Structure 1
Amino acid sequence: MKKSNPFPALLRAFFQEWLAEQRSASVHTIRSYRDTWRLLLRFIAERKGGGVARIMLADVSAGEVRAFLHHTEHGRRGTIGTRNCRLAAIRSFFSFVADKDPEYIAQCAEVLTVPLKREPTSAPCYLEPGEVEAILAQPDRSTIEGARDHVLLSFLYNSGARIQEALDLCAEAIRFEAPTCVRLYGKGRKERICPLWPETVTLLKKLLERQPRATGERIFVNRYGEPLGASGVRFKLATYVEEAAKSVSTLRSKHVTPHSFRHATAVHLVAAGVDITVIRSWLGHVSLDTTNHYAQANLETKRKALEQVGAPAASNVPPSWKRDASLMEWLDTL
């Protein structure tokens, strides 16, 4: 009797039992893992010459995983970060399989040894205050879509929110009375509260007046009333940056994304002298090392620190090793 293929059942159990029920993973994590496995299965099926339905667990070998990661980085022109995210999703599945069915533990061990790839650490690209103002001036606020884009970008800069955190925003998460603030839900479903400028609150109120939403409905929606997607925001932002670059030439050399506003918030808070632990709480960082990355990026802060130190004063006194002739003579005898 032909042995049935356990792979489909294991993959289904991984998503339904492990991620959703036991780990309580967010919908964004589940979708990210889903996309990884879609790409991986299609990649293997194409290399094997059969359909996805014929793939066995043994086909998802460490060699195939390495080939897929190479394709992700070079064939699809993904970043090293994207490659490592794909690998994390694959590793998670094989860790689950190793616990679920020890029969495949040898294969799981081989896949789990595939290493993450280190990427060069560079200073984050952030926007100067003048560049932020130039971009915010581009949306046509006389239209609903333009007003929405202006409020969204202003909110990103004020709160330092990740794009999906902002797009998930509902009116019930905003405190419109003083002290004005917003409740955000970040990675790992961690909750944090960020203060809001009165100007940002006023913009949000005006948007809700023009486009009323129930307290539990998302504020930022498209022309059809459906929740706005991150890809749509990136597309619109690219248009605004292109227009703003006509008056602010420094924008031409920068790759501006919605996340650039988060970088700008962090760096500008550092420049304003805000304590680094406060900034960590503001941005929802788990590690203080992540926040310190922004402290290192601000050139103006470095310049002011250098001015406080000052240049070393010139001295005509020779160093001690030159003054002590006997010591030099002794060293020569060694």
Structure 2
Amino acid sequence: MFAADRLKVKPSALTLEQIDAGLVSAFLEHLEDERKNAAVTRNVRLPAIKSFFRFLEYRQPAALEQIRCVLAIPFKKTDTRLVPYLLREELQAVLDAPDPATRDGIRDRAMLHVAVCAGLRVSELTGLKVDDIDLPSMSIRVLGKGRRERTLPLWKPAAAALRAWLAIRGQVATPEVFVNARGEPLSRWGFAYLLRQHAATVARKQPGLARKRVSPHVLRHYLPRPTMSGSFSFAHNSKGLCDNM
């Protein structure tokens, strides 16, 4: 749409020769200046364009110089932001927020405990299946990025919360562990929404939470250590994996 508007031609009339480095650079500037996209978003768009031109370089030898110029367009430098973090009291409050007297509360408590203990990505959590749980040893099998499989142990609080949910989950058609009221798999957006709701609930008691964005990504950057009382103590872990029991 940008190229068609800038060159005053229909999209179907665009030719490869017209999509040169100057046009691509103008599009990237348009993203920042007109659409108010951040530099990070600009840098996400550029690899897609470069990928297309790498595809072309084996099929359009006559355009190699044009392709070379597009591939030479640099990425824009951006600031690296630290992952937000929660204090021990704040994270413990979020884990305790779901009501254990309700079905949804039992499910949410199990999800939060498993997410934090195992350092799961939200897709790994929502994709966890009943067959991935080893009840005798209370460990879970996770299929992560690149279809890499790993087995993770659960500590007592997480294991207890998961057992409580499995006891009332009932027989549903879907194999995923965590389901909604209709028996359908809970989506990643559904989990993020529930997490925000619980964080907002406890923000009244933990004022610091009101100034923080509590997301699934924040949860997986903690290494929980169970205490004798069954509560958690936490230390920051860049990998988010539990490897101590």
Q: The TM-score by the shorter chain falls in which range?
A: 0.7 to 0.9
Task: Give CA-to-partner distance per residue, 1:182-216, whole Å, 9 cap, x none.
Answer: 22233333333322113322322332332246798
Q: Does structure 1 residue 225 correspond to structure 2 residue 196?
A: no
Q: TM-score, normalised by structure 2?
A: 0.76
What secondary structure sits across from 2:200 in the alignment?
helix
Q: Is the 8 A contact 1:160 1:266 kept in 2?
A: no
Q: In 1, distance between residues paired with 2:180 and 2:208?
A: 30
Aligned partner of 2:162 in structure 1 is: 204
Which of these two proteins has the greater Rg computed from alpha carbons? 1
AA at the equivalent of 1:168: G
Matched, 1:263 2:221: yes
**Cα gap change, 1:280 to 1:216, in 2 (>3 Å):** same
Cα RMSD over matched residues? 3.5
Distance 1:231 1:126, change over 3 A: same
Amino acid at match of 2:88: P
User: How many percent identity over aligned positions?
Assistant: 33
The one-letter amino acid paired with 1:129 is R
Cα 1:81–1:145 shift into 2, 3 Å: farther
Distance 1:177 1:121, change over 3 A: same
Deviates more, 1:66-75 or 1:85-94: 66-75
CA distance in 2, matches of 1:79, 1:260: 21
Distance 2:155 2:37 in 1: 37
SS at match of 1:282: coil
Aligned match of 1:127 in 73, 86, 89? 86
How much does 1:233 deviate?
2.4
- Name the counterpart of 1:188: 146
Pairing partner for 1:175 from 107, 125, 134: 134
| Equivalent residue runs for 1:63-212 within 5 Å | 63-73=22-32, 78-178=37-137, 180-212=138-170
Task: Tell me whether 230-239 or 61-70 shows the greater mean CA deviation.
Answer: 61-70
**Larger helix proportion of the pair:** 1
Whether contact under 8 Å (1:158, 1:265) holds in the other structure is yes
Whose strand proportion is higher, 1 or 2?
2
For 1:164, the aligned partner's letter is S
Report the CA distance between 1:159 and its aligned residue: 1.0
Larger displacement relative to structure 2 (216-225 or 109-118): 216-225
Would the alpha carbon gap of residues 121 and 217 (structure 1) be closer, same or farther in structure 2, given more than 3 Å must change? Answer: same
Deviation at 1:78?
4.9
Distance in 1 of aligned mates of 2:131 and 2:20? 47
Question: Unaligned regions of 5+ residues in structure 2, if any?
Answer: 226-231
Alpha-carbon deviation of 1:88? 2.5
Note the C-alpha offset of 1:48: 5.7
Provide the rounded CA distance (Å) in 2 between the counterparts of 1:73 and 1:54. Answer: 27
Are residues 97 and 266 of structure 1, via their aligned partners in 2, closer, same or farther at CA, if it must alter by over 3 Å?
farther
Task: Give the TM-score of the pair, scaled to structure 1.
Answer: 0.58
Closer/same/farther in 2, CA of residues 160 and 75 from structure 1, 3 Å limit: farther
Distance 2:209 2:20 in 1: 45
For residue 239 of structure 1, report the CA deviation from its aligned partner: 2.1
SS state at 1:95 partner: helix
* Structure 2 counterpart SS, 1:99: coil
Residue of 199, 204, 215 corresponding to 1:246: 204
Note the alpha carbon deviations across 1:287-330, whole angstroms, 9 max, x for none.
xxxxxxxxxxxxxxxxxxxxxxxxxxxxxxxxxxxxxxxxxxxx
Q: Which stretches in structure 1 are left out of the alignment for 5+ residues? A: 1-41, 284-334
CA distance in 2, matches of 1:73, 1:266: 40
CA 1:101–1:151 in 2, change beyond 3 Å: closer, same or farther? farther
Distance in 1 (alpha carbons) for counterparts of 2:168 and 2:161: 11
Greater relative contact order structure (CA < 8 Å, 6+ sep): 2
Aligned length: 236
